[in-house]
Amino acid sequence: MSAILKIDNLKAAYGGIHALRGVSLQVEEGEIVSVLGANGAGKSTLLKCISAVMKRTDGTIEFMGKPIPSKPHEIVEAGLVQVPEARQIFAKLTVMENLRVGVGNRKDVEGIKRDYERVFTMFPRLKEREKQYGGLLSGGEQQMLAIARGIMANPKLMMFDEPSLGLAPVIVTQMFEIIKEINDEGCSILLVEQNANKALQISDHAYIMQTGEVVRYGTGAELLADDTLSAAYLGN
């Protein structure tokens, strides 16, 4: 196995607030890796630094064995896609138009066609609603669309920031199944979650963050079995 994502000593700040204090983490090719931690631990900041929508002040990030590109669109083109928090789909574009945004600058016509088929098989609901405006979809459908849009970029690694947030329990279960399915199809996953239990159940490895630092690391099974975890670090 080799690391698809390798982060070393990553630091970032908002003015005087040190949100990341030297985070090291890696995702092996084909893995689902979760990052867990209470509110304010630095999880979203970590993803923002990886996606280069926020500048790091120190540390290195390697993607597929090379320094990660410096511009967000170059990172997407290299194969690393973040499904945004709060499901920032375009309300005034249709489902189909939203998916087309995900395609970006891809030129592999056959691959694009295959990926449309793939997302419509994965999300039959989106096929039914392909001409519907994004803003008229339910919360769960909007989250599906955000994921489908990410898939249309043909990523090697997908990052999720709290994909289960605010969704009904039955949709949450479906969401985790879909993440597992995307992974089974060969895409590595970096998953930020508050729902530690569900995340650990599908994770190969997980990191626990607290105030900008990694405080625990283990396999999903190890951390699931540790019942001191949630009280100590997850704010439950």
Ligand X SMILES: Nc1ncnc2c1ncn2[C@@H]1O[C@H](COP(=O)(O)OP(=O)(O)O)[C@@H](O)[C@H]1O
Residues that bind ligand X (CB under 6 A): 14, 17, 19, 37, 39-45
Smallest distance from the beta carbon of 19 to ligand X, in angstroms?
Answer: 4
Among 12, 61, 49, 24, smallest CA distance to 161 is for: 49
Question: Does 211 participate in binding Mg ion (rule CB under 5 A)?
Answer: no
Task: Specify the residue, 129 or 198, whose C-beta has the smaller distance to Mg ion.
Answer: 198
Q: Considering CB distances under 5 to 8 angstroms, the limit depending on partner class, which of ligand X, Mg ion, none binds residue 210?
A: none
Q: Considering CB distances under 5 to 8 angstroms, the limit depending on partner class, which of ligand X, Mg ion, none binds residue 22?
A: none
Rounded distance between C-alpha atoms, residue 62 and residue 219, angstroms = 22
Among 140, 150, 148, smallest CA distance to 175 is for: 140
Task: Specify the residue, 44 or 94, whose C-beta has the smaller distance to ligand X.
Answer: 44
Part in contact with Mg ion (CB under 5 A); list of ranges 10-18, 41-49, 64-72, 227-235 = 41-49
Smallest distance from the beta carbon of 16 to ligand X, in angstroms?
Answer: 9
Task: Specify the residue, 119 or 190, whose C-beta has the smaller distance to ligand X.
Answer: 190
Smallest distance from the beta carbon of 39 to ligand X, in angstroms?
Answer: 4
Smallest distance from the beta carbon of 23 to ligand X, in angstroms?
Answer: 11
Tokens of 41: 């631990």
Q: Which residues of 168-200 are buried (b: 16+ CB within 10 A; e: fewer)?
A: eeebbebbbebbeebbeeebbbbbbbbbbebbb
Question: Does 230 participate in binding Mg ion (rule CB under 5 A)?
Answer: no
Q: Considering CB distances under 5 to 8 angstroms, the limit depending on partner class, which of ligand X, Mg ion, none binds residue 37?
A: ligand X
Rounded distance between C-alpha atoms, residue 49 and residue 68, angstroms = 11
Q: Considering CB distances under 5 to 8 angstroms, the limit depending on partner class, which of ligand X, Mg ion, none binds residue 40?
A: ligand X
Q: Considering CB distances under 5 to 8 angstroms, the limit depending on partner class, which of Mg ion, ligand X, none binds residue 140?
A: none
Rounded distance between C-alpha atoms, residue 178 and residue 29, angstroms = 18
Smallest distance from the beta carbon of 100 to Mg ion, in angstroms?
Answer: 28
Q: Using CB under 5 A, pick the residue from 24, 44, 94, 211 that binds Mg ion.
A: 44
Q: Considering CB distances under 5 to 8 angstroms, the limit depending on partner class, which of Mg ion, ligand X, none binds residue 45?
A: ligand X
Smallest distance from the beta carbon of 194 to ligand X, in angstroms?
Answer: 8
- Applying CB under 5 A, the residues found at the interface with Mg ion are 44
